[in-house]
Amino acid sequence: MYRTDAYSSQSYKKYFHDLQTEELIEPSSSEISTTSIDQDGASSSYQLIASSGASLLTNKPFDTFLMSTRNHSADKSNFGSDSMENRSVDSIEIDSEMRSKLQALEKALLDDSEADEEEEYVTSQSMEIDSIQNMLINDHDSPKEYSSSDSNISTISITNTKEITRISRTPKQLLYECANAISEGNKEEATSMINSLRKMVSIQGEPSQRIAAYMVEGLAARLAESGKSIYRALRCKEPPSSDRLAAMQILFEVCPCFKFGFIAANNAITEAVKDDRKVHIIDFDINQGSQYINLIQTLASRPCKPSHVRLTGIDDPESVQRSIGGLNIIGQRLEKLAESLGLSFEFRAVASRTSIVTPSMLKLNCCPDEALVVNFAFQLHHMPDESVSTINERDQLLRLVKSMNPKIVTVIEQDVNTNTTPFLQRFVEAYNYYSAVFESLDVTLPRESQDRMNVERQCLARDIVNTVACEGEDRIERYEVAGKWRARITMAGFNSSPMSSNVSDEIRKLIKMYCDRYNIKEEKGALHFGWEDKNLIVASAWR
């Protein structure tokens, strides 16, 4: 029995499989049948179904194996009810008193046998799961003579043992086993486990079920080699209503660790330019512009606010912003905000992929007396490094920024190692990381929230699929731990600029407004934000 939230294959397609691509694979049928349940969260009963001629067992699934082995044991006692009934009582000349005694003895022995079997079932259930299959195989290989029916029973028992073993695993255990099967090239076994997992997970359930729902699709995409198509199909899109925020912006708002990263970077920027009259900020992934709402408000509230602030946003030609007018829409929103606060502000979009941006493209119309700031918010991990190509776009971009001699560079990144790690280790890293993210979302968004579902499907699921399913140039989400970022940025010629104690104190106050399970710690000048004991985001500043 697995207690899960019910959701039909139709709703499953609605939230994940209903994508505009022919390469997506649909759930296939499983050997495990599922009883449909209502939406109130009643438990689903996973029943064992044997092949033709086998009976359906529910209360004692291991009776099948006990029966099969009992039939092959020559030394078994014949005091069971079947053997007693097979005897012809009329052929034995005994009086009624003797018959009564024999019946009483039969009942006593039968009751003891059943009690022993029940005790064995309760106390050694886990041992049977691991050992019965070997026992049946050994019996089958022994030089005994088997009838065709005996052989069929043993075959059914071995098949059922695999299913019982699979059902007894938690989704997390089965996910790890499936990832291991894929890493070993056992596609048939992995496909069978994927089918089983899809019966056990729910995108509307507990965090552990939701993370498992998307991780299993990452594994399925890896088997089908469709990860690239799913990654593109799951791009965050602007909702049709202008009153609602895009999924990525919702993520930044409701998952405090992302917001804390923005606050830390903004604090480093305002400290660096506090004496400058003109400020020019270059952002390589401005997204919805969430970070700059707070920054504009902070700069405008200063007694000696800058006389002019320029913000340049790099706009990838394939960006999802293009369908809603490109980054110009974001710029217009920020310009209106600055105007309402009395801050001279200018926004300029550069339509170019980050990998081909040149200094001349960024410094166009720049004034020599401007303080130059560069902000990398969740962007650097998208650039391939030396493990992907000899061009090493990641270091190339850092060297380009260094040549521009900025006053400060701020970096916000996920703190997890999924870049150069092998598939199996990367899968475990991703599972642990996103499990913490999903748990944290449960604190800020209701379980039934459509916004939460959009955030997880359009933002987190997309990254999960790419991390798990893709390799080489197709794998875009290449996160690094803080230590690796520190080494890489230092090698590019930058020096650490430690965050001030004021920002950490401010964030500690904000944490109390959310949940005390969030945490903040300072390490080598950078600020780490996490959920319980798991680091999620790291923010750092460089000169």
- Give the domain ranges of the chain: 169-237+416-478, 256-413+481-542
DSSP notation for 334-355: HHHHHHHTT--EEEEEEES-GG
The answer, yes or no, to whether residue 281 has pLDDT greater than 60, is yes
Burial of 211-235, coded b for 16+ CB within 10 Å and e otherwise, reads bbbbbbbbbbbbbeebbbbbbebbe
Share of the chain above pLDDT 90, in %: 44
- Average predicted confidence (pLDDT) for the chain: 74
Lowest mean pLDDT among 50-54, 375-379, 497-501: 50-54
Distance in angstroms (rounded) separating the CA atoms of residues 333 and 477: 29
Pair 266, 272: CB distance under 8 Å: no
Banded model confidence at residue 152, pLDDT cuts 50, 70, 90: very low
The amino acid at residue 118 is E
Position 452 scores a pLDDT of: 86
Q: Average pLDDT, stretch 56-78?
A: 38
Share of the chain above pLDDT 70, in %: 63
Position 133 scores a pLDDT of: 35
Position 97 scores a pLDDT of: 58
Banded model confidence at residue 96, pLDDT cuts 50, 70, 90: low
Of these ranges, 91-95, 283-287, 402-406, the one predicted with the greatest mean pLDDT is 402-406
The answer, yes or no, to whether residue 145 has pLDDT greater than 90, is no
The pair of structure tokens assigned to 244 is 């609602």
Minimal CA–CA distance to 380: which of 364, 392, 362, 363? 392
Position 295 scores a pLDDT of: 96
* 27, 51, 179, 362, 461 from 191: Cα distances, Å: 10, 20, 11, 49, 20
Position 14 scores a pLDDT of: 47
Position 501 scores a pLDDT of: 86
- Write the pLDDT tens digit of every residue in 170-200: 899 999 999 999 999 999 999 999 999 999 9
Position 315 scores a pLDDT of: 74
Find all residues with CB under 8 Å of 512, minimum gap 6, and list them. none
Q: Average pLDDT, stretch 9-27?
A: 43
Position 280 scores a pLDDT of: 95
Banded model confidence at residue 107, pLDDT cuts 50, 70, 90: low
CB atoms within 10 A of CB 35: 11
Strand 534-542 relative to strand 408-414: parallel, antiparallel, unpaired?
antiparallel
Minimal CA–CA distance to 290: which of 324, 251, 343? 251
The answer, yes or no, to whether residue 168 has pLDDT greater than 90, is no
The pair of structure tokens assigned to 6 is 């019910």
| DSSP label at residue 474 | G
Strand 278-283 relative to strand 371-377: parallel, antiparallel, unpaired?
parallel
Helices 187-198 and 171-183, packing angle to 10 deg: 160
Banded model confidence at residue 252, pLDDT cuts 50, 70, 90: confident
Position 169 scores a pLDDT of: 79
Token pair 């040549």: residue: 403
Distance in angstroms (rounded) separating the CA atoms of residues 480 and 484: 6
Position 230 scores a pLDDT of: 76
The answer, yes or no, to whether residue 242 has pLDDT greater than 70, is no
Helices 290-300 and 327-340, packing angle to 10 deg: 20
Q: Average pLDDT, stretch 364-373?
A: 80
Minimal CA–CA distance to 195: which of 57, 33, 35, 4? 33
The answer, yes or no, to whether residue 83 has pLDDT greater than 90, is no
| Higher per-residue confidence, 80 vs 375 | 375
Position 155 scores a pLDDT of: 39
Banded model confidence at residue 458, pLDDT cuts 50, 70, 90: confident
Find all residues with CB under 8 Å of 522, minimum gap 6, and list them. 499, 504, 528
| Higher per-residue confidence, 419 vs 251 | 419
The amino acid at residue 119 is E
Q: How far apart are the first and last CA of the chain?
A: 58
* 217, 244, 333 from 450: Cα distances, Å: 20, 12, 25
CB atoms within 10 A of CB 316: 18
Position 236 scores a pLDDT of: 54
Q: Average pLDDT, stretch 300-317?
A: 89
The answer, yes or no, to whether residue 389 has pLDDT greater than 50, is yes
Q: Average pLDDT, stretch 388-409?
A: 94
Minimal CA–CA distance to 350: which of 284, 297, 263, 428? 284
Minimal CA–CA distance to 261: which of 543, 536, 480, 483? 536
| Higher per-residue confidence, 54 vs 259 | 259
| Higher per-residue confidence, 349 vs 42 | 349
Distance in angstroms (rounded) separating the CA atoms of residues 12 and 18: 8
CATH for the 256-413+481-542 domain, from 3.40.50.150, 3.40.50.9100, 3.30.420.40, 3.30.930.10: 3.40.50.150
- Write the pLDDT tens digit of every residue in 503-525: 989 899 888 888 889 999 999 99
Q: Is 543 exposed, middle or buried (0-12, 13-18, 19+ CB in 10 A)?
A: exposed
